[in-house]
Amino acid sequence: MSNLPAWPEESANIKLFTPPEWKSSSVFCSLRYDGNNQLSIVSSESSQRVLEVINLNDCIGVQVEIVLKNANEKKYETNEPTSPEPVDTQGSAVLTLYCYPQQEPLTWMQRWGLATSSSSKHPQPRVARYHRFVVAPAEDLQAVSRVAAVLQHYVTGRPASPLRYLILVNPRSGPKRNARNIAETVVQPMLLQAGIESDMVVTTHAQHAMQIGETKVVGNDKTLDDYDAVILMGGDGTIHEFLNGVMRRDDAMATLAKLRLGAIGCGSANGFTKTITYASQEVVGPLQETFLICKGHVTATDISTYTTRKNTYTSFLTFAWGNIADIDIDSECIRCLGESRFDVWGAWCILRMRHYRGRFSYTNDPKPVLPSSLNDPVPESWTVMEDDFILFWASHVSHAATGSMNSPHSRLQDGVIRVFILRKPMSRFRATRVLLGLDTGKHIEVEGAEYVACTAYRLEPQGSYNDLDGEVIEDGPVQAQVIPGVLNVFAGPLAK
């Protein structure tokens, strides 16, 4: 807050028409900043009654527009002032604050009219609530614009400046395949309200997002360098493709350092967007995810590299092997069920209760030294587990899917990979409790479950799939290492 400009004193003298739906006896009002990002709307009478308090933390943008008046037409979409009319019948300046407060949940007491407000500890979905003020005629419009610019700075924490974002849409993601529609009806309008221009590019083929990441070429005349941020609209697979494309570049780390990424979950699992919104104390969903992008707070998140005998990959989500990989990959055939495909296949896997032989070696050393070849042994200081594994699930994210809090202790920026393990012996009863506990993260408390944090590991698996960020990669040993805090993602100010 210390870098914010001072509140312009002239705001007290700028007369605005009180929105008629407030049913206030005061015809005019003005803006008063009360600190802590609270904006009071006060009546212009000598009493200066507070008519409304607006929390600027809920706002994404402030705009001043000249609305031309045509006597027979309705001019303002919402909150239209009906009386008193602005005197200037040619046009009026309108100051709009675009706010998206969290909806207050109604308790049973409120439904029956026995209480008026509630304070829920849980985040709630946000709803659009715009505050439109018609500026009184004869007011100095330059002064109004100066106040709006300061307000915009308070809203986003940065001076108002032109920004242009790239929206990359995967039209084939998710059971509804509606990413393009969400981009046009939710994301682009909200960005405009926040003063952000955008170009939308729809992927035309599989791996298109990877090509854009690798070549930076977006269209005939644009590259990634022409944009202030990239918004990925698809499933986790789209993010994986784009990130792995960027990481193929010779200047990968320099490109990552400049990139700012937003994600709108339009896939079937949406683990990354669930993780970001959970960390930001928001409800998952396109509106809340766009809200975070408009607010512009960036959190430097961890990723990791995975080396196999043939390739090197970059991961931002999870590596699964054993029954979790079986559930993820084999359930592709019932993809039409959306996220419930994982529950259906999970029940089947518990009935089968397969186990796989493997060796897991890991270290917690903050600066781990990894063998240069998968044929070389791991350092002696590493912990080694050789056993029959039911499942192995390494994660950077708290949620691998919207309904699965697979790694409740994972944070965007904790510098470790957390691995959840089930080994034999394990009864079907306990395995069922693990599966049932996944939506709340309680599975890590089931007797026999193991949950370790490491900075690097090697897995030498026999059987099942190597499932990296939801995509199958080649079989055989893998070696992973954290790259802490390099992916700049739009997330709430409290997210770490």
Write out the residues near ligand ATP by the rule CB under 6 A. 170-174, 203-208, 234-238, 241, 267-270, 470
Q: How far apart are CA 145 and CA 186, in angstroms?
A: 26
**Closest approach of Cβ 194 to ligand ATP, in Å?**
25
- Only one residue has tokens 């896939």, namely 267
44 vs 318 by CB, closer to ligand ATP: 318
Closer Cβ to ligand ATP, 153 or 172, answer by number: 172
Q: How far is the CB of 230 from ligand ATP (least distance, A)?
A: 15
Distances 471 to 84, 98, 110, 228 between C-alpha atoms, Å: 61, 39, 47, 29
Which lies closer to ligand ATP via its Cβ, residue 268 or residue 288?
A: 268
CB 438 within 8 A of CB 420: no
Cβ proximity to ligand ATP: between 228 and 330 the closer is: 330
Strand partners, 359: 386, 460
Cβ count within 10 A of residue 45 = 12
Tokens encoding 352? 């089968």
Cβ 284 to ligand ATP shortest distance, Å:
12
- Closest distance between ligand ATP and the C-beta of residue 468, in Å? 12
Other Cβ atoms less than 10 A from the Cβ of 305: the count is 16
Closer CB to ligand ATP, 87 or 336, in the complex: 336
Of 19 and 237, which has the nearer Cβ to ligand ATP?
A: 237
Q: Is 174 or 358 the residue whose CB approaches ligand ATP more closely?
A: 174
Rounded to whole angstroms, how far apart are CA atoms 308 and 429? 35
Torsion sign across C-alpha atoms 397, 404, 461, 433: positive
Q: How far apart are CA 251 and CA 290, in angstroms?
A: 29
Least Å distance, CB 298 to ligand ATP, is 22
Quick one: CA dihedral 77, 169, 177, 276, positive or negative?
negative
Residue 325 backbone phi and psi in degrees, to 5: -65, -40
Q: How far is the CB of 333 from ligand ATP (least distance, A)?
A: 14
Query: In 31-139, which residue ranges form alpha helices assigned H by DSSP?
Result: 108-111
Token pair in block for residue 131: 């505050």
Q: How near is the Cβ of 374 to ligand ATP at its closest, in Å?
A: 27
